[in-house]
Structure 1
Amino acid sequence: MGQTKFQGVPGILRPFKEYIEKWSLPAGSEVVFYGVPGTCTPFVELLCFAIRSLPLTLIFVPYTEEEKAQKLTMVPDVGFQATNACPPKNPAVLVIMGGLAMPNMPVGADDVASLIKRWKGSGTIGVCFMHMFQKAGWLDKMHFDLLIDADISVDVTTGQ
């Protein structure tokens, strides 16, 4: 298991894109993102933007509710947006967002581990901030082929 340090938003997007590219997925292959609506979706949109040149079907699933899944489509001059219902049929890659592991979410590690098991054969990527999967104990219950764990540092200046 290798570990590499990166910086900033490109440090999240580049390893993600490289991992997806390594799969050499055929056109139309599904990359399915599972996350918290509103909290995870901006990061999902960034991840989609990183792989915009690949002919993939990109899908966002709120929590693990696949019946509510939405296709993510590139909208000119805006970026990726949810456009229409699109439940996953045969995911090539599952992307599990760390917001799911936050306290008080309606999803637990066992739910996501079952989901990963159900889509056996799919690649698995975890994307989180501030060691959320580790803190929540999820890494003991599931395996990610790629784990992107970023830190957030915030400086706020007022009165400039």
Structure 2
Amino acid sequence: LVVLGGLAMPKIGVDPVEMKRLVGEVTGGDGLVIGVCFMGIFERTGWYNHIGFDYVLDSVIDTELFER
């Protein structure tokens, strides 16, 4: 099961406790759980305390400005 980081954004309003319940329901408690997010959103919103991710792909976006 892949959990997308956008769900952890505060303005979206998904409760991590409810997501943990849903993950358990979908996987039967015995499935692989992969998180995909940007900029540490799962860590910043405390989702690691609720969901037992097997793997997390956490990308960081670097911005560079080039001028002529």
Please give the range of the TM-score, normalised by the shorter of the 2 chains: 0.7 to 0.9
- In the alignment, does 2:8 pair up with 1:101? yes
Unmatched tracts of structure 2, length 5 or more: none
- In the alignment, does 2:60 pair up with 1:151? yes
- In the alignment, does 2:41 pair up with 1:127? no
Identity %: 35
2:20 equivalent among 87, 98, 113: 113
TM-score where L is the length of structure 1: 0.38
Q: Please identify runs of 4+ aligned residues in structure 1 that moved more than 6 A.
A: none
The separation in 2 between residues aligned to 1:116 and 1:128, in whole angstroms, is 17
2:61 counterpart SS class = coil
Corresponding residue pairs, total: 66
Greater relative contact order, per chain length (Cα 8 Å cut-off, separation 6+): 2
Could you say what the CA RMSD is over the residues aligned between the two structures, in angstroms? 1.4
Unmatched tracts of structure 1, length 5 or more: 1-93
Q: CA deviation at 1:108?
A: 1.7
TM-score where L is the length of structure 2: 0.84
